[in-house]
Amino acid sequence: MLSTFSILLPIFGLILAGYACRRFNVLGPTSASELNRFVVWLALPALLFRTLARASWKMFDKPGFIAAFWIACAVVFIAVLVARLLKGQHLADASIEGIAASYPNVAYVGIPLCKLVFGPSSITFVMIATILVVCILFGCALILIEFGLQAERRPHRLILKVLNRLMHNPLVVAPLAGTIVCVLQLPVPGALEEFLDLLGTAASPCALVSLGLFLAQSRSDAKARHEVWWLTGVRLFVQPALTWLLVTHVFHLQSMEVKAAVLLAALPTGTGPYMLAEYYEREAHITSRMILLSTIGSLVTLSLLLPWIQHQ
């Protein structure tokens, strides 16, 4: 448990730093939104472009792992989305809660945890999971949110409006540009690489500080707290269990792939859903508290999961 705590401690520290800065009025009431805008328009696009531009198609030669991990993410996302829509929730809000329940923190927690448990060879699995979650799952949620926010009802006009909005969204343009660079194997100048590295490494810390700022100035009602609990349960228990069923009983993967897939699926919620909620000015109480609660809860769940992985 100590090793898990040492990996998750920086996350708590950054959230606490943002919380304290707002509580003691070091940063103003608009600081959470402004810092989040920096992440969405600069830091995260740089990270997405850099991740995909550096990707090698050889790493995707793991069809079973990709299919199992992606199906588990997609099933949880769709199930929560449909459940929230049946409750009468707006498509944009339902999409944000859906991605919050299915969005493991593969980049910020997954990399150090997998290195600790499996060694450097596990980075391939983390990179695959990062691309599937941060690019593809994130992109699906973006499309649904844009559809939900458009008032146009004529199908062809609606599609054109959504496409226009997506092409002006840095979280869509950056991974598309990175994919083009990867496919065409275009060289990236050294100075640009350094620029992207500096911006990209700021994405997670700034998002976590922004989350702390938001938590310091927000209040949630009893209904929101109830939603947080069951969504967190889906994140920490349902998705890893579904992933385990897929990797062992459907795709029959090797031991290393089984362990990596289950561990990555069991990670707490990443900051992506909160950034989406803030960027689109939707209700962020549930996503922000879910990130905090799932991170705290993962101290217990991951500490119980790691001995099972080592035994396997």
- Name 245's Cβ contacts closer than 8 Å, sequence gap at least 6: none
- Confidence at residue 291, expressed as pLDDT on a 0 to 100 scale: 87
- Count of domains forming the chain: 1
pLDDT in tens, 206-257: 888 988 888 887 666 666 778 899 999 999 999 999 999 999 999 999 888 9
pLDDT in tens, 182-215: 888 888 898 999 999 999 888 888 888 988 888 8
Helix (H) or strand (E) holding 283: none
Look up the CATH number of the domain holding residue 108.
1.20.1530
Cα separation, 202 vs 183, whole angstroms: 26
Tokens standing for residue 273: 């859903």
- Confidence at residue 151, expressed as pLDDT on a 0 to 100 scale: 64
* 116 lies in some domain: yes
Q: Phi then psi for 104, rounded to 5 degrees? A: -70, 150
Q: Give the pTM.
A: 0.84
Nearest to 38 by CA among 164, 192, 213, 220: 213
- Any bridge partners for residue 269, and if so which? 104
* 311 lies in some domain: no
Between helix 91-102 and helix 222-233 the angle, nearest 10°, is 40
Cα separation, 184 vs 45, whole angstroms: 20
**pLDDT beneath 50: ranges in the chain:** none
- Confidence at residue 179, expressed as pLDDT on a 0 to 100 scale: 85
* 312 lies in some domain: no
* 90 lies in some domain: yes
Burial profile 199-212: b = 16 or more Cβ within 10 angstroms, e = fewer: bbebbbbbbbbbbb
- Confidence at residue 38, expressed as pLDDT on a 0 to 100 scale: 92
Q: Which domain does 85 fall in, by range?
A: 2-306
* 163 lies in some domain: yes
* 260 lies in some domain: yes
Q: How many residues in total does the chain contain?
A: 312
Tokens standing for residue 185: 């194997």
